[in-house]
Structure 1
Amino acid sequence: MALNVKLGVSTWLWTSPFRAEEAAGLFEKIATLGYSAVEIAVEDPGLIDIPKVKDALAANRLEAIICGAFGPTRDLTSDDEQLQRTGLAYIEACLDIASALGSRFFAGPMYSAVGKARMVSPAQRTIEWERAVANLRVVCESAANRGLEIALEPLNRFESDLINNVDDVLRLIGDIDHPAAKICLDMFHMNIEEPDPEAAIVKSGEKLIHVQVSENYRGTPGTGNASWDAYRRGLEAIGYQGVVSIESFTPANKELAAAVCIWRNLAESQDAFASDGHVFLKKWITGN
């Protein structure tokens, strides 16, 4: 039985930061390649002209998914309260964008800054965990007031010391204790952190509302050693019906360059990455 999902791709594959002026041309390309959804990476909310982006989505019949970029100035666990406030203000802006563009949720590793990976004392870890919980409870209320949810994404150990796997994110959601708190799983991070990706997906269950994919080296789906059959079995077991979206990056990524560490092209071209990836994923969701 084929998975009942839509296929999407991130704007990060081509550009960083995404600007509304790019929407018409980029979205037409994405739709022409066969995708049904576009994952809009919002590095700077000020660059997102809502009417322009909305028109481009409608013209190309694309569903919008809004994802965040959490650099060091947007850290909900920081000792610096100003950085916490900056992070919350950024998330509020992204929630406004998601609402205006008809997205159902806002996704990303919003609990902390990407690249924050240190050895700290148990006492400091508890302090930062409690800050993440308290701040994300506020975020969940803001999301719910807009009819939205949030999709919290675990990152691998080299990019975060707080939330690395499904067990971590389920514990976080349990402590937040708000119905708007849900899960986004990224295959790249799971390839590093999950011994059994199928079991991890099943454990996520109905809380899983978004899936990102790429190869083990962040390359084109189908060209590496990712456990594609296991991922498919897991999604099939929970009846996942959301978007499966390619997330990789242009080497020109600004906000997250130090964390994602992509310094070279991972395919012949970014267009070839998206095109070949779509061909592979179309076969993958049918089980062929």
Structure 2
Amino acid sequence: MFLKLLFLKKMTKFGINTFLFTGSFTNDSISLFSRFKDWGFDSVEIAIDDPTVLDVQLINKGLTENGLVCGSACAAMGPGRDLRGTVEEQETAIRYLESCVALLAEINCPVLVGPLYSSVGRAAFEEKAAREEQWHTVVNHLRHLGSYAEDCGVTLAIEPLNRYETDFINTASQALELVDEIGLPSVRVHLDSYHMNIEEKYPAEAILRTGRQLAHFHACGVDRGAPGNDHTDWLKVIDALKKIDYQGDIVIESFTPDVKVIAKAASIWRTTEPSQESIARKGLDFLREQWDRR
């Protein structure tokens, strides 16, 4: 029995981000859980815009009834939420992220992921002095948030974004530098295959370099479609994850024009796959096959 439990604990889970089907996660979004389970997912990643409107009991009930776990939650760092912005934007971001962490503790969700350091879309040339000041500010805020998260049993996973979505953290090396300076076990790194395709010379090497600091991984095609239906060298990516003994979830985070608010934010102007369901099901089948064969 002990060996069986140990094996189950280490088994990588495959999840789906709710952004594929809806904008901000709401109580009504819980109805998606049954579909996710039918398609074979182990976990769900909820995209949180306003944690205060979510019913913890309903979420927990929906997860239990469908045999799922909330393996991760994705922060929505929209306008006005910026740890390196104005004083008001920094305070708003801190309150928002603290509320997200508190919610995660109540639904037994272990990790909050995303570009927690700044608003998505903020990208401009910054002078060295301004950048150093911003870096110092973000480090201090994430130390505070990381300490709070640790008390709640939650990990914060910092995601590098591509150069068109942020000017702050674009690569795994930059994320590692930030995490190392923060110096808390509750603040780690989140990598996304889409952003790595743009910013990393060799994505598999970036995974190896991140090593045990990798707390979360997003998988999608280079056009934000299904993983596997693209030119990504997925065998190298999977091999790298295996070599570092990656223990977190592998989550499909793909977008389509069907969810207008996300399509606009992520510049999804055309259809790249037959349907949202096709992305989820084919992507999951591909990832499981690649994982099991290595």
Range of TM-score over shorter length: over 0.9
The alpha carbon displacement at 1:46 in A equals 3.1
**Out of 212, 220, 225, which is 1:214 matched to?**
220
The match for 1:28 is: 34
SS in 1 for 2:74: strand
Deviations 1:123-145 (A, max 9, x none): 11111111111111111011011
Counterpart CA distance in 1 for 2:122 and 2:59 is: 32
The match for 2:77 is: 70
Identity, % of aligned pairs? Answer: 36
Q: Which amino acid aligns with 2:181?
A: D
Deviations 1:154-199 (A, max 9, x none): 1111111110111100110111122211111111001111111111
The match for 1:10 is: 17
Counterpart CA distance in 2 for 1:222 and 1:250 is: 16
Deviations 1:77-123 (A, max 9, x none): 00x10110000011011101111110112111101111111011111
The match for 2:98 is: 92
**Out of 145, 148, 156, which is 1:150 matched to?**
156
Counting only pairs closer than 5 Å after superposition, residues 138-287 of structure 1 correspond to structure 2 as 138-251=144-257, 252-254=259-261, 257-287=263-293
The alpha carbon displacement at 1:287 in A equals 2.5
SS in 2 for 1:226: coil
Contact 1:13–1:248 under 8 Å retained in 2: yes
Counterpart CA distance in 1 for 2:145 and 2:272 is: 35
The match for 1:48 is: 54
User: What runs of 5+ residues in structure 1 fail to find an aligned partner?
Assistant: none
The alpha carbon displacement at 1:259 in A equals 4.1
Contact 1:68–1:107 under 8 Å retained in 2: yes
Counterpart CA distance in 1 for 2:189 and 2:66 is: 27
Query: Is 1:105 paired with 2:92?
Result: no
**Bigger RCO of structures 1 and 2 (CA < 8 A, at least 6 apart):** 1
Counterpart CA distance in 1 for 2:105 and 2:270 is: 35
Counterpart CA distance in 1 for 2:91 and 2:140 is: 12
Runs of 4+ residues deviating >6 angstroms: none
Counterpart CA distance in 2 for 1:157 and 1:143 is: 28
SS in 1 for 2:251: strand
The match for 1:118 is: 124
SS in 1 for 2:289: helix
Counterpart CA distance in 2 for 1:113 and 1:124 is: 17
Counterpart CA distance in 2 for 1:47 and 1:226 is: 38
Change (3 A) 1:103 1:26: same
SS in 1 for 2:216: strand
The alpha carbon displacement at 1:13 in A equals 0.5
Contact 1:197–1:234 under 8 Å retained in 2: no
SS in 2 for 1:66: strand
SS in 1 for 2:148: helix
Counterpart CA distance in 2 for 1:125 and 1:72 is: 19
SS in 2 for 1:280: helix
User: What runs of 5+ residues in structure 2 fail to find an aligned partner?
Assistant: 1-9
Q: Which amino acid aligns with 1:121?
A: E
| Root mean square deviation, CA, Å | 1.5
